[in-house]
Structure 1
Amino acid sequence: MAVDTSPRSTTWTFVDGEWVTGNPPLIGPTSHAMWLGTTVFDGARWFDGIAPDLDLHCQRVNRSALALGLEPVVTADDIEGLAWEGVKKFDGQTAVYIKPMYWAEHGMPGSVVAADPTSTRFALCLFEAPMNTAEPSSLTVSPYRRPSPEVAVTTAKTGSLYPNSGRMILEARARGFDNALAKDMNGNVAETASSNIFMVKDGVVFTPLANGTFLAGITRSRVLHLLRRAGLDVRETTLTVEDFLSADEIFTSGNYSKIVPVIRLDDRQLQVGPVAKKALEVYMDWAHGNGSDF
């Protein structure tokens, strides 16, 4: 039987000491990752000749590996160096997604379920992906919730958490929305199905307090810092759906698209507001080297 391993865009992957093009078949049916979901990854962006916070993303994938019981077999510095090497393989016209990954091949001796850290494998995948920055989005409150740290490895950016995000998005799109607003197990807003979220009320910027139920992203932290430095009052606190329904402005942050304004939350219509525009402005200004670091 023929297997289609062609990627949807130009793709290069570094694995087992070499760069290969396309979509290499790396995980088999007996791999622990295939069978029991032991994968972690991270995602950085290259665009306009820059890769903002690439070092932090490379550091985080190694922390995610440890959180899932894997062994980070490549240093963060080496991952960063490989990423810059890989970027040179593209034509420089389209934004690139940079995705370092770890996974387990085998279970621990005497235990099928637990991953054997000594079987950890590494790959670095880069592929072309347009940014879609600032393209407005619509949200609906999801009937599904984010897990708590007691029931899932929420401290890792692990593939095993994403089927829950996927069903949130599928359910939301079936009702005519782009994405879903996700609550935590206590019923408070956590994030969207695929990004962190901010709201603005009476000139104050709010974002859900990092409580272990969602990944408080690198771009989120960067935006928090930059908006505060720009003189805005930015607060991390517990927020409800009702808070968002009464907000003057809503926007999301994430590595994939950076800043995305929200123009609809269920039956509530919103405008692209000045804070979302400011967030994108200060982020891009910093990213292109016109601002100081943390």
Structure 2
Amino acid sequence: MAGVFWYDGTWTTEEPKIVGPMDHAFWLGSVIFDGGRAIKGWAPDLDRHCARAVASAKAMLMKPTKTAAEIEALCREGIRRMGPEAELYIRPMFFIRKGLGAARPDPDSTDFILSVYDNPMPNWAGFSAVMAPFRRPTPEMAPTDAKAACLYPNGARASAFAAAQGADNAVMCDAMGHVAEFASANLWFAKDGRVVTPAANFTFLNGITRQRIITLFKDAGVTVEERTVKPAELEAADEIFSTGNYAKVQPCTRYNGRDMQIGRFATQAREMYWRWMEAAPKVV
């Protein structure tokens, strides 16, 4: 996988070896990241991804060593180094090196690294999903206001459960048993011409792509219901789709064993997003 990496003032095409067994991040998981995209020269909402990286670091008791503007400038340089036709994943990360006794991190040991690497956009072919038994935590249980690495093993358990059932992704509920999101993306469905997405209730990230799609739908005159969703509603849905940074918009074509068509709202969301993205200036 081709990529460029920035660490400690230097760009390299080799992955820097930056952590050891005594680093707090390696030992106790004090790591945050964000994920942006560059698609043939466009970098949609890159500024918001960089700002969220800083906010996540603060939520995880870190002292960010870069501002959002500084991170964005580095991201843009990385995109230029990879070329105008590349489809890239852009991953700024903050992590802690030292601890202050027990499990408490030392904010003054916060470090930063940026990875910009080839990651082609997935095909518009759809994915399958099943309901998983694992739940998203509440804010009292975990740092749900951060894009923190420590949250992802729980989603990985759900993904592994789905794979064992022959599915590509998993739907996860919150602690109250209401639908939260997919294991790796925000969830949407449509029923009788109504577009619905679970309300952002602090058990999952209110995704940047999710927010963008809500705005685009509203600008197009489509009402989006952000509300509590019961699992049974997905069983009766006319269509289900996901939004997220990695794939932007993807249709769910099979849910809990029921085949589904790629629906008009998923198609509209994807088309609106691409039009909005391509109307912006390119980075390279």
Normalising by the smaller structure, the TM-score range is over 0.9
Q: Distance in 1 between matches of 2:175 and 2:186?
A: 17
- 2:102 counterpart SS class: coil
Could you say if the C-alpha distance between residues 279 and 40 of structure 1 is closer, same or farther in structure 2, counting changes exceeding 3 Å? same
- Cross-structure match for 2:14: 22
Percent same amino acid among aligned pairs?
A: 43
- 1:134 counterpart SS class: coil
Runs of 4+ deviating beyond 4 Å: none
Q: Distance in 2 between matches of 1:222 and 1:187?
A: 27
Matched, 1:82 2:74: yes
Matched, 1:44 2:36: yes
CA displacement at 1:133 relative to structure 2: 4.8
Matched, 1:174 2:164: yes
Deviations 1:87-137 (A, max 9, x none): 1111333301000000000012xx230110000000111110011153301
AA of the residue aligned to 2:268: K
AA of the residue aligned to 1:106: K
Q: Distance in 2 between matches of 1:28 and 1:287?
A: 40
CA displacement at 1:11 relative to structure 2: 1.5
Q: Distance in 1 between matches of 2:206 and 2:241?
A: 15
Q: Distance in 2 between matches of 1:273 and 1:175?
A: 24
- Cross-structure match for 1:53: 45
- 2:214 counterpart SS class: helix
- Cross-structure match for 1:117: 107
Q: Distance in 1 between matches of 2:54 and 2:280?
A: 29
The one of 173, 176, 186 aligned to 1:196: 186
Matched, 1:264 2:245: no
AA of the residue aligned to 1:27: V
How many aligned residue pairs are there?
A: 281
- 1:88 counterpart SS class: helix
Tell me if structure 2 keeps the 8 A contact 1:134–1:257: no
Q: How does 1:1-294 map to 2 (within 5 A)?
A: 9-108=1-100, 111-289=101-279
Q: Distance in 1 between matches of 2:24 and 2:141?
A: 20
AA of the residue aligned to 1:113: A
AA of the residue aligned to 2:107: P
AA of the residue aligned to 1:234: V
Q: Distance in 1 between matches of 2:37 and 2:67?
A: 19
- Cross-structure match for 1:6: none
CA displacement at 1:230 relative to structure 2: 0.8
- 2:124 counterpart SS class: coil
Deviations 1:126-176 (A, max 9, x none): 110011153301110001111111110000000000111111111110110
Q: Distance in 1 between matches of 2:152 and 2:14?
A: 23
Q: Could you tell me the TM-score, scaled by structure 1's length?
A: 0.94
Tell me if structure 1 keeps the 8 A contact 2:41–2:86: no
- 2:201 counterpart SS class: coil
AA of the residue aligned to 2:189: M
User: Larger RCO: Structure 1 or Structure 2 (Cα < 8 Å, ≥ 6 residues apart)?
Assistant: 2
- The RMSD of aligned alpha carbons is 1.2
AA of the residue aligned to 2:48: L
- 1:112 counterpart SS class: coil
> Structure 2, unaligned stretches of length 5 or more?
none
Deviations 1:183-207 (A, max 9, x none): 0010000000000010001111000
Q: Distance in 2 between matches of 1:93 and 1:117?
A: 38
AA of the residue aligned to 2:185: S
- 2:229 counterpart SS class: coil
Q: Could you tell me the TM-score, scaled by structure 2's length?
A: 0.97
> Structure 1, unaligned stretches of length 5 or more?
1-8
